[in-house]
Structure 1
Amino acid sequence: MTRYRKPLFESLTPDIESSIYISHQFEKDVSRKDYWHFHNAYELVFVTSGKGKRFIDQKVSEYRNGDLLLLSPNTPHNTLFKEHTGKTFEQYVILFDLSIFKRFFAACKEFNHIGRLFHNMGGAIAFEGNTKKKLANRLKR
């Protein structure tokens, strides 16, 4: 019988003047990281340097330089860096609660579709192509 670890809740609190949590993670050797966890917020992740395995809920995939993902709240996830031992790993992480956009969605009928996308996405969305390039450039600023 295979036993699975229960994911740990990771609470990240934004600065007092902010409604979002932003982290720029830059590490030389991250091979020891193995942290199955979840947050109660949306998480936008942009990997600028690194490769390895990524676990999101019950799915396993490879990640590489340039990956851009949006994870929904309470989605267990983990990133393993075994293939990246001894190399530099860099990523940007932004956590936010959808409530910061409620007034915006209510004021602009056209954005109701975006609100529904967030609420119904379940798991993760990977951005590709031009959308990924535009978002990545903004995250690097």
Structure 2
Amino acid sequence: MKAKFEKIPESTDSSFRAFLYEKESFDAPWHFHPEYELTYIIKGKGIRYVGNSVENFEEGDFVLLGTNVPHCWKNTNPDIKPVKSIVFQFNDTILGQGWMEKSEFKNIKWILDKSSRGIKFNAEVSKKFSKKLVDILHQSALEKLLSFLKLLESLSFAKPQKFLITEGFAPNLNNKTNHRIHSVFNHVHINYDKKIKLQHVSSIIAMSDEAFCRFFKKSLNKSFFTFVNEYRIHMACKQLIETHNPVKQIAYSCGYESLPFFYRQFQKFKNCSPLNFRKNHLNAYNKALG
């Protein structure tokens, strides 16, 4: 996807933006901005792209992103309308210049530094802070700022946390590069359930097969077909959770022509078999219901 620069509008009554996003779909393009961003999904399911990470998301998804990290959320279930999320966007001058260097803010500085790799908080943390996130939206400007700083401080101690972006990955924000990535991502998104040929994908962006493979690996720090399989496995996980379809049917519907290869790829990305994935998710769901 093309990482489009987004100019975040300034708030007239606050030093940062805090708002409820509510639309028919998550329609923001693959984009980046110099502001940090904290996003909590209230309603919606789909695929989350952050840097070179591709993962499923659902209600309760809670992610902190650093400055200029390309990202977007794309819902894959058209029946869930409207989608909703709470979004906080802020820059490193929220309290003026040099505030993060003061000892009182060392924990906030730590987590903001780590957010360059994208931080996903687990379900327990998400549930713990969900009400506070909603409350902040309705506070006065000063209360909102103080509550938000306390929230960041608390999140710095929240464990466990998961980094989304591969260590050492540096996003390429060159417009030409991002336009090409945009075209490739869109092709995979539309055609993941079919046979994807390298020759066809490379021709879309007018490159030779060899040049395209080098370009993609350099851009995302992973091979093109690793990305394709990663995307397909995430779509398979979605079906394992949301349907009772047999594994064989799911594998074929996600573009796999070989069942043994599907099992190997699933084990590679999820460290378990498809049936164990489904069983573990069902057990976790039943446990949550008490």
Change (3 A) 1:135 1:98: farther
Alignment check: 8 A CA contact 1:42 1:72 kept: yes
> 1:96 aligns to what?
90
> 1:30 aligns to what?
25
Alignment check: 8 A CA contact 2:35 2:67 kept: yes
Alignment check: 8 A CA contact 2:64 2:115 kept: no
If asked which structure has higher relative contact order (CA below 8 Å, sep 6+), I would say 1
Residues 1:72 and 2:57 are matched in the alignment: no
> 1:19 aligns to what?
15
CA shift at 1:85, angstroms? 4.3
124, 132, 135: which one aligns with 2:129: 135
Count of residues in correspondence between the two structures: 133
Query: What are structure 1's unaligned runs of at least 5 residues?
Result: none
Change (3 A) 1:107 1:70: same
Give CA deviations for 1:45-72 in whole Å, capped at 9, x if unaligned.
0101110001101110001001111011
> 1:9 aligns to what?
5
What is the correspondence of 1:49-68 to structure 2 with a 5 Å cutoff? 49-68=43-62
Whole-Å separation in 2 of the counterparts to 1:99 and 1:65 = 31
> 2:81 aligns to what?
87
Q: TM-score, normalised by structure 1?
A: 0.81
Q: TM-score, normalised by structure 2?
A: 0.42
Query: What are structure 2's unaligned runs of at least 5 residues?
Result: 136-290
Name the SS for the 1:84 alignment partner: coil
Whole-Å separation in 1 of the counterparts to 2:60 and 2:17 = 21
Whole-Å separation in 1 of the counterparts to 2:88 and 2:74 = 19
Name the SS for the 1:48 alignment partner: strand
Letter in 2 for 1:30: S
Letter in 1 for 2:16: I
Q: Which has the higher helix share?
A: 2
Q: Which has the higher strand share?
A: 1
Alignment check: 8 A CA contact 1:68 1:136 kept: no
CA shift at 1:132, angstroms? 2.2
Alignment check: 8 A CA contact 2:60 2:123 kept: no
What is the correspondence of 1:109-128 to structure 2 with a 5 Å cutoff? 111-128=105-122
Residues 1:46 and 2:43 are matched in the alignment: no
CA shift at 1:104, angstroms? 6.4
Whole-Å separation in 2 of the counterparts to 1:66 and 1:130 = 9
